[in-house]
Chain A
């Protein structure tokens, strides 16, 4: 287990929720990648990645999320991000990926949107 990152996975009907806490960098991003890709393989209609516990994310973390997004889309699902703190938001703006991902303020909203759309 990587002490810099904590990842919990929950399932709610056909939605997978990956809750991430800690710092996502070159050391810890392989663990995040493993978690996201293993969930993507199960082909959920929606994969929500809750980043509210993430204080730091580098480009390897961003690359992991892009890979997850592409995997989900290939399988006909969607990947949604929520709970981005200031630091993570800045990285997404700088890389212009804030317009590529569906980003919601909180996990509650990400799940409410799924319920409303179901």
Chain B
């Protein structure tokens, strides 16, 4: 075995088609991977929802609903944080135009960005890719994101 055969033991990578059927696959892998690192159920739910929303946004907005385009999902778990990188080759997103909607304006839709930003500590668009998008989502353990009861 050469050195290049080694992979990061805390990292899992997936390549899925941009088909909504595969969102459940991402959620399942994410749950299992984070669970191995001792993330509790509430934190797991938060990360799973944020990543699911981000993948849905790629399908709907970057790929305009096309089901046969690639989405790469890289999950890296450490004791203190979980980092998920999403890469697509769709239409470039302008992060400046991504604004969560006013929650007092009750209407269907427009909640995905709000959920992602509420649930994750870092939401970063890497704009250096010549094609498509790279989104990096980080959640640190034990941060109180959830609203008060």
Of the candidate stretches A6-14, A42-50, A61-69, A108-116, the one touching chain B is: A61-69
Q: How many A-B residue pairs have CB under 8 A?
A: 72
Tell which of A4, A90, A100 touches B106, judged by Cβ atoms closer than 8 Å. Answer: A100
Judge whether B24 and A63 touch: CB under 8 Å: no
Judge whether A96 and B103 touch: CB under 8 Å: yes
A14 to chain B, nearest CB (A): 25
Q: Is B114 an interface residue (CB 8 A)?
A: yes
Q: Is B70 an interface residue (CB 8 A)?
A: no
Judge whether A26 and B111 touch: CB under 8 Å: no
Give the dominant DSSP class at A's interface.
helix
Q: Contacts A58-B52, A91-B49, A95-B111 hold; do A26 and B23 have CB atoms under 8 A apart?
A: yes
The bracket for how many chain B residues form the interface is 20 to 34
* Residues in A whose Cβ lies below 8 Å from that of B21: 27
Residue interface bits A56-91, CB-to-B below 8 A is 1, else 0: 101110111011001000000000000000110011
Q: Is B16 an interface residue (CB 8 A)?
A: no
Count residues on chain A whose CB falls below 8 Å from chain B CBs.
25
* Residues in B whose Cβ lies below 8 Å from that of A118: none
Given contacts A4-B24, A94-B119, list 20 more A-B pairs with CB under 8 A: A23-B24, A25-B24, A25-B27, A26-B23, A27-B23, A58-B49, A58-B52, A59-B109, A59-B111, A60-B56, A63-B109, A66-B107, A67-B108, A87-B49, A90-B46, A90-B146, A94-B147, A95-B111, A95-B115, A96-B104
